């Protein structure tokens, strides 16, 4: 790289032979000068950060060998013998460029010593052998680099042969079973019908089945009974609502900003919901995933005439805008958000790491980062008028309430590397383009406008080794509680390796062959025997695979906050399925639309969402954390929201045209758990309801307990 | 990369430890500890080395107090009154040049620490206080300044100091949150200042509006809207009976037991939380010592929380009407007089109180704002009659520390003779953070969290532990 070559060039320009000859005579004295005046200062004030023993070598600069101090670091050569202008060390000590040491300026006499030392030829008796020089950032061998598993195109392999072939229902099962058999394990039996239906409902549409639906399924003797239900659920509009939220985590969807100056709402996104609704519709229509992705990056460039899908640009257009925006350092932060969301979200690689230095583990040099950041440097966030009647200036709607929040191209431009991420420390100009390791080491340069469309095409391409794998892995993770690659947004060296690499590849290839159809993928997974296993714990199998890494059973899972809250609203009967404008407050007892429609704030997230592991919408979320805290339980025990649901259900049950509490308990179990109570449950309920003089109060208490139970919270 | 970190993560996954457990695991110093802890399901803190402080209270003067009127006397300002400052300024001076502080400074205590007459009560603690006069930060704007001081970064996507501390050390009391934010009103920037960001959600600061001292209104969901304790216990007994029955039909899978225990804990928490937050339980004398302002009430609640095992309490000096009262762009002197009177009394009371209870030795008290104020004046152009104020100033300001292993009576570092720039023993906010973590037993370079492909730290790639401040 050129910036590292510079110091060496300067060094060689000095006629060293002559120089050494001239100085030979007083070398001993000069060495003494170094030992007495220079080395102690370096040791005391500089080595802490600039030597082999430093915890982290700052600025790539080491001062503990002759070679190192001369070749220097990111700010150029440290010392150029005889030249006070060129070296970075003395100017830093004088606080001219950077200020070193940061703790306080060294005394004038020390600085004078260093000036004299450099002017006299920077005689440095330290031998290079004392410490090996820093490994120079070598040129990446692209062939080797692209051999890493995730940079290789996914390939289909023959289905592995297995013993228990009768278990196999889908190709997925062969891969799972082969591993299980190799590990001396075998799959669980299929889950009972009631369990299976509840699981499929919650996974596919995020809502529990009604008692009638359970009943009819249990009675249905048709061989396609389950498949029929799955197809119905995939066709339901509730399906898009359930899965949109998974995407919104990836897209760090939000409706406002973390920074709010005064009451200034000008950077908010009052119509963010339009993007959210677009995602719901896209999933319901089974829009091919490659197109889904491309539209979100470049809908305006793909169909300049037809604006129908432009709102998809909210993927970038709803990103964080920071305080003091338009200042160079702030825009650099915003570009990082765009690059990070696109690369971790769509490609599962952590290119934002390369903003300050070459990626330490993956083959992404700093240039790759700036080649992508340049794309976003050539765009702007835009509140685009919803229609022609809206007043606008230079294309920006005057009233954000009458706009959609998208991006558009500005003057395209390449940007310069910012050394160590510092906007004031410019390196080489980098042409916009795609990360080289994903194109076999070739530098693919973007030439059209900002480069957004080319970027969109490069991501949504069947030749991209990552795009399909990353989304297949995310979807898989939702069904099994853990993805095949345990780090769904990091398929790099520090990420985890897939537990079932051939399965991931096979699914990814077939996903693309099936027109990038997400519904195909969902169906393929849900109809597998693997998915339909029971979650029962077999203690022998548990011994050998406690984490269920090889999937010998289904994993019991706590519901997401969305599915839990929606289940409560279904049980109380309060749920409102309207696909309306705007958003609700998730924790507000009277806001009863599905949780997907919650207002998402970067400034202050709704307290209910916070409690149940909703991710910070300021950045892309790789996966949700899963915590169990007493604060969650305080919500279940004491919140207005829970009380309201319990009261509403109590009202309904009390008004029922039945005579006994026993009948009412049956109704309660049907509403909440889609089943009948057993004898013991019935007795517990009857006993509890006997207490107290106020019927409604006692019923409310009883129902609140049922709503707060583990049975509603955890899916088998 | 720390290779043990990687294997630890893999180990956790293979042990089936939940994702949430990764947080505090990641901070562990060695494999042995991680192994031991992996078997326990409650987050326990494991410091990197012996801690000098067990808990922190950060009194945050929102808007930025003026260093030249409080802790950093500058007689040269009087001598050069009215002269425009020379040298490079972040933005042009909007006033009539240097402005002397009208407040008298004198020495206090055996240490002879110099403080202004605005702090008569705190000055009685001079020998417990350590004043850093050489603080500096990156930008003289409130939002980035607040984010830097609280989260170590100018933009809002980093975990806060208190979240890092909770993540590194866990909680001393399972019935209380480990990081509580007391704020009578909302500070500028707001919740990002106590955000867990990419750390797991349990490390977020629990924020409480202290304007209303009625505990049930102050802390959400802490009391059932209808049921008394007896009735709620009955309800819970039913629920837990149903839960246990449900669990027994499912091989006693640990996923259920965890929920059952959390529910039980929540029930216990109610009374403990209500007690911890309830200043009505304090004596009349104590209430009087602190004063009866929103800030002083917050300081008193802070002490109660610290005493009950909360790891970090942050008190924001704000009011319902003003998100940054210390932002004295006009009438600096009178405003500082009022603000200091309130803050000084409550802070000194807190110090006295902690000391009397033997808690000051292992409680780190921090007093300061996001930056300082200009040694030169600011004139309000729209209202020329308004008395002069002072503008934002980031290249030199003061902070005061006490307790928790801090050397009392020490005045550390210096600004130049006009109070413009920190010149001697400079302390950046990153250095302050490294120092705070160190006092709590955490190595700021080892307290990391793997996110977005790299290990993040509160201090990023910066930070020097200012050992000179330690006892």
- The CB density around residue B148, as the number of other CB atoms within 10 Å, is 23
At residue B130, the pLDDT reads 98
Question: What is the Cα–Cα distance from B104 to B95, expressed in whole angstroms?
Answer: 23
pLDDT digits (tens, 9 = 90+) for B315-340: 999 998 889 999 999 999 999 999 99
Per-residue model confidence (pLDDT) at position A98: 81
- Please state, as a whole number, how many other Cβ atoms lie within 10 Å of the Cβ of residue A487: 21
Instruction: Tell whether the model's pLDDT for residue A28 goes beyond 60.
Output: no
Taking CB atoms and an 8 Å limit, are B452 and A261 in contact across chains?
Answer: no
Alpha-carbon distance of A555 to A547, in angstroms, equals: 9
Closest CA to A317 of A336, A302, A296, A303: A296
Contacts of A333 in chain B (CB under 8 A): 155
Q: Tens of pLDDT along A97-156? A: 788 888 888 888 888 888 888 888 888 877 644 433 333 345 788 888 999 999 999 999
CB-based contact B435:B469 (threshold 8 Å): yes
**Nearest C-alpha in B relative to A420:** B461
Q: What is the mean pLDDT of residues B448-453?
A: 81
State which residue of chain A sits closest to B225, comparing Cα positions.
A638
Q: Is residue B56 a contact partner of residue B313, using CB atoms and an 8 Å limit?
A: yes
Q: What is the pLDDT of residue A415?
A: 95
Give the residue among B338, B331, B294 at the shortest CA–CA distance from B316.
Answer: B294
The whole-chain average pLDDT of chain A stands at 90
Residue whose structure tokens are 């899916």: A715
SS3 A153: coil
Contact A320 B220 (CB under 8 A): no
Contact map slice: A 482-521 vs B, CB within 8 A: 486, 489-490, 492, 494-496
Question: What number is the average pLDDT over the span A490-517?
Answer: 96
pLDDT band at A492 (very low <50, low <70, confident <90, very high): very high
> For the ranges A263-272, A283-292, A295-304, A698-707, which has the lowest average pLDDT?
A263-272
Do A627 and B18 make contact, defined as CB atoms within 8 angstroms? yes
Q: Is the pLDDT of residue B15 over 70?
A: no
Using a CB-CB cut-off of 8 Å, the residues of chain A touching B90 are none
Chain B residues with CB-CB distance to A324 below 8 A:
141, 143-144
Cα separations in angstroms, B215 against A73, A640, B262, B278: 57, 17, 22, 6
List CB contacts (< 8 A) between B204 and chain A: 610
For A534, nearest residue in chain B (alpha carbons): B250
pLDDT at B227 over 80: yes
> How much is the average pLDDT of B421-443?
97
* Residue range B79-105: mean pLDDT, rounded: 89
Nearest to B350 by CA among B112, B110, B122, B55: B122
Q: How many CB atoms lie within 10 A of CB A168?
A: 18
Residue spans of alpha helices (H) in A378-466: 452-459
% of chain B with per-residue pLDDT over 90: 70
| pLDDT range class, residue B194, cuts 50, 70, 90 | very high
CA A325-A583-A647 angle, to 5 degrees, is 140
Beta strand pairing status for A379-385 and A403-409? antiparallel
Q: What is the rounded CA–CA span in Å between residue A461 and residue A117? A: 59
**Interchain CB contact of A547 with B (< 8 Å):** yes
Considering only CB atoms, which chain A residues are within 8 Å of B10? 496
3-state secondary structure chain B: CCHHHHHHHHHHHHHCCCHHHHHHHHCCCCHHHHHHHHHCCCCECCCCCCCCCCEEEEEECCCCCCHHHCCCCCCHHHHCCCCCCCCCCCCCCCCCCECCCCCCEEEECCCCEEEECCCCCHHHHCCCEEEEEEEECCCCCHHHHHHHHHHCCCCCCCCCHHHHHHHHHECCCCCCCCEEEECCCCCCCHHHHHCCCCCCHHHCCEEECCCCCCHHHHCCCCCCCCCCHHHHHHHHHHHHHHHHHHHHCCCCCHHHHHHHHHHHHHHHHHHHHHHHHCHHHCCHHHHHHHCCCHHHHHHHHHHHHHHCCCCEEEEECCCCCCCCCCCCCECHHHHHHHHHHHHHHHHHHHHHHHHHCCCHHHEEEEEECCCEEEEEEECCCCCCCCCEEEEEECCCEEEEEECCCECCCEEECEECCCCCCEEECCEEHHHHHHHHHHHCCCCCCCCCEEECCEEECCCCCCCCCCHHHEC
Contacts of B224 in chain A (CB under 8 A): 637-638
Kindly report the nearest CA distance between residue A400 and chain B, in angstroms: 22
| Residue closest to A129 by CA, chosen among A177, A66, A192, A182 | A66
Q: Provide the 3-class DSSP secondary structure of residue A211.
A: helix
Determine the Cα–Cα distance for residues B117 and A157; give it in Å rounded to an integer: 81
**Distance in Å, alpha carbon of A714 to nearest chain B alpha carbon:** 8
Q: Write the DSSP symbol of residue A132.
A: P
Mutate to test the interface with B, among A419, A616, A669, A703 (most CBs of B within 10 A): A616
Residues contacting A698, CB < 8 A, separation 6+: A688, A689, A691, A692
Indicate the residue of B191, B195, B259 with minimum beta-carbon distance to A710.
B259
Structure tokens at A428: 């080489």
Q: Does A633 touch chain B (CB under 8 A)?
A: yes
**Would you say residue A18 has pLDDT above 80?**
no
- Of B409, B457, B378, B381, the closest CA to residue B84 belongs to B378
Answer whether residue B229 shows pLDDT above 70.
Answer: yes
Among residues B387, B388, B405, which one has the least CA distance to residue B465?
Answer: B405
> Is B157's pLDDT higher than 50?
yes
Q: What phi, psi does B377 have (nearest 5°)?
A: -85, 165
pLDDT at residue B258 tops 70: yes
The tokens for A665 are: 């308990």
According to the model, what pLDDT value does residue A109 have? 80
How many angstroms away from the CA of A675 is the closest CA of chain B? Answer: 14
d(CA A697, nearest CA chain B) in Å: 9
Instruction: Report pLDDT digits (tens) over A544-598.
Output: 998 899 999 999 999 999 999 999 999 999 999 998 889 999 999 999 999 999 9
Calculate helix-pair angle for A518-526, A467-480, nearest 10 degrees.
40
CB distance A371 to A434 below 8 Å: yes
DSSP characters over A653-697: HHHSS-S-HHHHHHHHHHHHHSS---HHHHHHHHHHHHSSS-HHH
Residue B129 to residue B59: CA distance in whole angstroms:
14
User: Which helix (DSSP H) or strand (DSSP E) does residue A383 occupy?
Assistant: strand A379-385
* A632 touching chain B per CB within 8 A: yes
B20 and A627: CB-CB below 8 Å?
yes
**Which among A127-141, B274-288, B446-460 has the top mean pLDDT?**
B274-288
In the stretch 228-267 of chain B, residues with CB closer than 8 A to chain A read 231-232, 234-236, 238-239, 241-243, 245-247, 250-251, 253, 255-256, 258-260, 262-263, 265-267
For residue B445, list chain A residues with Cβ-Cβ distance below 8 A: 55-56
Query: What percentage of chain A exceeds 90 in pLDDT?
Result: 68
Per CB-CB distance under 8 Å, the chain B contacts of A616 are 157, 195-198
Mean pLDDT confidence for A279-294: 98
- Indicate yes or no: CB of A547 within 8 angstroms of CB of B452: no
Question: Helix (H, G, I), strand (E, B), or coil: what is residue A611?
Answer: helix
Q: Which residues of A touch B201 (CB under 8 A)?
A: 610-611, 613-614, 625, 627
Is the previous residue joined to B166 through a cis bond, with omega within 30 degrees of 0? no
Quick one: what percent of chain A has pLDDT higher than 70?
94
- Is A49 near chain B, with CB under 8 Å? no
pLDDT tens-digit readout, A52-85:
777 777 887 888 888 888 888 878 888 888 888 8
Chain B interface test: which of A339, A629, A710 (most B C-beta within 10 Å) = A710
Average pLDDT rounded to a whole number, residues A202-221: 97
Nearest one of B275, B347, B263 to B309, comparing CA atoms: B275
CB B225 within 8 Å of CB B188? no
Structure tokens at A594: 């599905």
Do residues A343 and A301 make contact, with C-beta atoms less than 8 angstroms apart? no
Prediction ipTM score: 0.81
Task: Give the nearest partner residue to A626 out of B10, B18, B260, using CB atoms.
Answer: B18
In A, minimum Cα distance to B252 occurs at A537
Q: Per-residue pLDDT for A174 more than 90?
A: yes
B425 touches chain A (CB under 8 A): yes
Question: Which H/E stretch holds residue A371?
Answer: helix A366-377
Report how far residue A315's alpha carbon sits from residue A325's, in angstroms, rounded to the nearest whole number: 19
Residue A181 DSSP SS3: helix
Rounded CA-CA distance A469/A490 in Å is 12
Structure tokens at A526: 């849900």
Q: How far apart are CA B357 and CA B148, in angstroms?
A: 33
| Range name among A443-447, B297-301, B381-385, B401-405 with the lowest pLDDT average | B381-385
Measured between beta carbons, the chain A residues lying within 8 angstroms of B234 are 688, 691, 701
Within its chain, how far is the Cα of A573 from the centroid? 35
CA distance A382 to B313: 41
Rg of chain B in Å (alpha carbons): 24
Chain B residues inside the 8 Å CB shell of A636: 263
**Interchain CB contact of A332 with B (< 8 Å):** no
Q: Distance (Å) from the C-alpha of residue B68 to the closest C-alpha of chain A?
A: 21
pTM of the model: 0.78
At A592 the pLDDT is: 97
Which residue, B420, B401, B419, is CA-closest to B410?
A: B401
**Closest by Cα among B302, B403, B269, B370 to B65:** B370
Residue A626 has pLDDT above 90, yes or no: no
| Phi, psi angles (nearest 5°) of residue A134 | -55, 135
| Distance separating alpha carbons of residues A408 and A378, to the nearest angstrom | 9
Tokens 């802790």 locate to B71
Q: Which of residues 191-210 of B touch A (CB under 8 A)?
A: 191-192, 195-198, 200-202, 204, 206
Label residue A13 by pLDDT band (50, 70, 90).
very low
pLDDT at A7 over 70: no
φ and ψ of A402, to 5 deg: -110, 35
A630/B20 CB distance under 8 A: no
Give the residue-averaged pLDDT of A641-660: 92
Instruction: Tell me the pLDDT band of A357, cut-offs 50, 70 and 90.
Output: confident
| Contact residues on chain B for A714, CB-CB shorter than 8 A | 255-256, 259
From chain B, the residues in CB contact with A638 under 8 A are 221-225, 270
- CA dihedral B156→B157→B162→B165, nearest 10 degrees, is -150
Residue A206, sorted as left (phi over 0), alpha (psi -120 to 50) or beta, turns out to be: left
Structure tokens at A92: 């830093």
B224/A638 CB distance under 8 A: yes
User: Tokens 């958000």 correspond to what residue?
Assistant: A337
Q: Which of B175, B201, B225 sits opposite A627 (nearest CB)?
A: B201
Q: What is the pLDDT of residue B16?
A: 29
Report the residue of A191, A631, A704 to disrupt the B interface, i.e. the one with the largest count of B CBs within 10 Å.
A631
pLDDT of residue A127: 63
- pLDDT of residue B52 exceeding 90, the answer is yes
Distance from CA of A565 to the nearest CA of B (A): 17
Provide the chain A residues 359-398 that lie in CB contact (below 8 A) with chain B: 359-362
Residue A42, number of CB atoms within 10 A of its CB: 18
Spatial distance between the Cα atoms of A634 and A639, rounded to a whole number of angstroms: 7
pLDDT, position B199: 86
Gap from B119 CA to chain A (nearest CA, Å): 29
pLDDT of residue B44: 35
Alpha-carbon distance of A351 to A369, in angstroms, equals 6
CA distance A634 to B319: 28
């Amino acid at each position: 790289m050129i910036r590292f070559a510079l110091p060496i060039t300067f060094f060689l320009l000095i006629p060293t032979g002559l120089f050494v000859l001239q100085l030979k005579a007083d070398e001993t004295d000069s060495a003494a000068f170094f030992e007495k005046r220079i080395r102690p200062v370096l040791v005391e004030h500089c080595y802490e950060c600039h030597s082999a023993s430093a915890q982290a070598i700052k600025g790539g600069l080491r001062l503990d060998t002759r070679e190192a101090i001369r070749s220097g670091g990111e700010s150029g050569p440290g010392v150029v013998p005889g030249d006070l202008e060129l070296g970075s060390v003395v100017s830093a000590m004088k606080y001219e460029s950077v200020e070193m040491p940061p703790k306080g300026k060294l005394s004038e006499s020390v600085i004078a010593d260093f000036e004299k030392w450099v002017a006299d030829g920077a005689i440095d008796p330290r031998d290079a052998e004392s410490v090996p020089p820093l490994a120079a950032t070598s040129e990446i061998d692209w062939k080797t680099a692209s051999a890493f598993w995730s940079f290789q195109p996914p390939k289909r392999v023959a289905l592995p042969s297995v013993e228990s072939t009768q278990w196999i229902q889908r190709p997925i099962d062969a891969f799972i079973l082969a591993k299980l058999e190799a590990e001396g394990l075998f799959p669980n039996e299929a889950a009972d019908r009631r369990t299976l239906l509840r699981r499929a409902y919650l996974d596919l549409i995020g809502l529990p089945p009604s008692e009638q639906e359970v009943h009819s399924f249990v009675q249905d003797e048709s061989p396609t009974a389950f498949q029929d239900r799955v197809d119905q659920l995939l066709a339901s509009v509730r399906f898009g609502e359930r899965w949109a939220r998974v995407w919104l985590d990836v897209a760090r969807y939000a409706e406002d900003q973390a920074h709010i100056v005064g009451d200034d709402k000008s950077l908010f996104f009052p119509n963010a919901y339009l993007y959210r609704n677009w995602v719901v519709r896209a999933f319901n229509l089974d829009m091919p995933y490659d197109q889904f992705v491309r539209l979100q990056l470049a809908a305006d460039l793909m169909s300049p005439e037809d604006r129908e899908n432009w709102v998809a640009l909210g993927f970038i257009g709803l990103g964080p805008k920071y305080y003091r925006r338009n200042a160079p350092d702030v825009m650099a932060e915003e570009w990082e958000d765009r690059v990070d969301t696109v690369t971790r979200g769509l490609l599962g690689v952590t290119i934002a790491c390369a903003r300050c230095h070459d990626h330490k583990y993956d083959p992404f040099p700093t240039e790759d980062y700036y080649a992508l950041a340049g794309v976003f440097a050539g765009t702007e966030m835009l509140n685009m008028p919803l229609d022609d009647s809206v007043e606008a200036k230079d294309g920006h709607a005057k009233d954000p309430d009458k706009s959609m929040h998208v991006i558009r191209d500005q003057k395209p431009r390449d940007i310069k590397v910012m050394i160590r991420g510092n906007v004031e420390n410019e390196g080489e100009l980098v042409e916009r383009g795609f990360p080289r390791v994903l194109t076999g080491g070739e530098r693919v340069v973007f030439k059209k406008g900002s480069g957004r469309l080319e970027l969109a095409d490069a991501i949504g391409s069947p030749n991209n080794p990552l795009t399909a794998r990353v989304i297949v892995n995310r979807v898989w993770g939702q069904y099994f509680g853990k993805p095949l690659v345990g780090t769904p947004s990091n398929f790099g060296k520090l990420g985890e390796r897939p537990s079932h690499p051939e399965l991931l590849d096979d699914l990814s290839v077939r996903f693309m062959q099936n027109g990038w159809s997400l519904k195909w993928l969902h169906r393929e997974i849900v109809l597998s025997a693997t998915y339909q296993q029971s979650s029962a714990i077999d203690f022998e199998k548990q011994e050998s695979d406690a984490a269920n890494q090889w999937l010998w059973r289904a994993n019991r899972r706590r519901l997401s906050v969305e599915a839990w809250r929606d289940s409560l609203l279904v049980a109380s009967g309060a749920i409102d399925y309207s696909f309306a404008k705007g958003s609700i407050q998730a924790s507000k007892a009277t806001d009863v639309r599905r949780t997907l429609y919650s207002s998402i704030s970067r400034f202050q997230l709704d307290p209910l969402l916070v409690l149940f592991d909703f991710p910070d919408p300021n950045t892309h979320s790789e996966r949700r954390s899963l915590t169990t805290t007493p604060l969650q339980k305080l919500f279940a025990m004491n919140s207005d929201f829970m009380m309201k649901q319990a009261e509403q259900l109590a009202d309904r049950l009390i008004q029922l045209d039945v005579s006994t509490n026993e009948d009412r308990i049956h109704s309660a179990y049907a509403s909440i758990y889609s089943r009948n109570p057993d004898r013991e449950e019935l007795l517990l309920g009857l006993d509890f309801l006997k207490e107290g003089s106020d019927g409604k109060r006692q019923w409310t208490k009883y129902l609140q307990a049922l709503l707060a139970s583990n049975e509603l919270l955890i899916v088998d | 990369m720390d290779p043990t970190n990687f294997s630890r993560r893999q180990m956790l996954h293979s042990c089936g430890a939940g994702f949430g457990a990764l947080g505090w695991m990641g901070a562990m110093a060695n494999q042995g500890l991680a192994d031991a802890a992996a078997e326990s399901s409650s987050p326990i803190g494991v410091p990197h080395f012996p801690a000098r402080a067990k808990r922190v209270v950060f009194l945050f003067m929102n808007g930025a107090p003026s260093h030249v009127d409080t802790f950093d006397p500058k007689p040269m300002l009087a001598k050069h009154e009215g002269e425009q400052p020379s040298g490079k300024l972040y933005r042009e001076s909007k006033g009539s040049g240097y402005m002397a502080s009208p407040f008298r400074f004198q020495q206090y205590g055996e240490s002879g620490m110099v403080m202004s007459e605005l702090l008569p009560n705190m000055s009685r603690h001079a020998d417990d206080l350590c004043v850093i006069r050489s603080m500096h930060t990156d930008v003289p704007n409130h939002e980035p300044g607040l984010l830097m001081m609280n989260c170590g970064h100018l933009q809002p996507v980093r975990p806060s100091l208190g979240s890092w501390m909770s993540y590194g050390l866990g909680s001393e009391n399972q019935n209380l949150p480990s990081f509580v934010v007391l704020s009578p009103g909302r500070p500028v920037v707001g919740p990002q200042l106590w955000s867990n960001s990419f750390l797991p959600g349990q490390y977020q600061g629990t924020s409480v509006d202290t304007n209303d001292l009625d505990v049930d209104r102050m802390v959400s969901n802490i009391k059932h809207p209808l049921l008394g304790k007896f009735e709620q216990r009955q309800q819970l007994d039913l629920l837990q009976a149903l839960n246990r029955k449900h669990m027994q039909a499912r091989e006693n899978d640990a996923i259920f037991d965890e929920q059952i225990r959390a529910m039980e804990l929540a029930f216990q928490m109610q009374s403990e939380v209500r007690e911890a937050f309830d200043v009505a339980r304090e004596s009349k004398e104590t209430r009087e010592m602190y004063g009866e302002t929103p800030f002083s009430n917050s300081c008193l609640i802070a002490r109660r929380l610290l005493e009950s095992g909360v790891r970090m309490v942050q008190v924001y000096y704000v009011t319902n009407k003003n998100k940054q009262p210390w932002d004295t762009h006009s009438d600096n002197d009178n405003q500082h007089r009022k603000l200091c009177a309130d803050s000084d009394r409550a802070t000194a009371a807190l110090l006295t109180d902690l000391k009397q209870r033997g808690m000051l030795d292992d409680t780190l008290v921090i007093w300061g704002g996001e930056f300082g104020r200009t040694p030169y004046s600011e004139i309000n152009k729209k209202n020329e009659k308004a008395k002069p104020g002072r503008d934002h100033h980031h290249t030199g300001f003061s902070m005061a520390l006490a307790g928790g292993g801090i050397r009392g009576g020490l005045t550390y570092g210096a600004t130049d003779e006009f109070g413009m720039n920190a010149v001697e023993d400079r302390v950046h906010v990153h250095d302050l953070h490294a120092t705070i973590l160190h006092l709590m037993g955490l190595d700021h370079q080892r307290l990391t969290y793997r996110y977005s492909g790299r290990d993040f730290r509160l201090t990023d790639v910066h930070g020097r532990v200012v050992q000179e401040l330690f006892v």
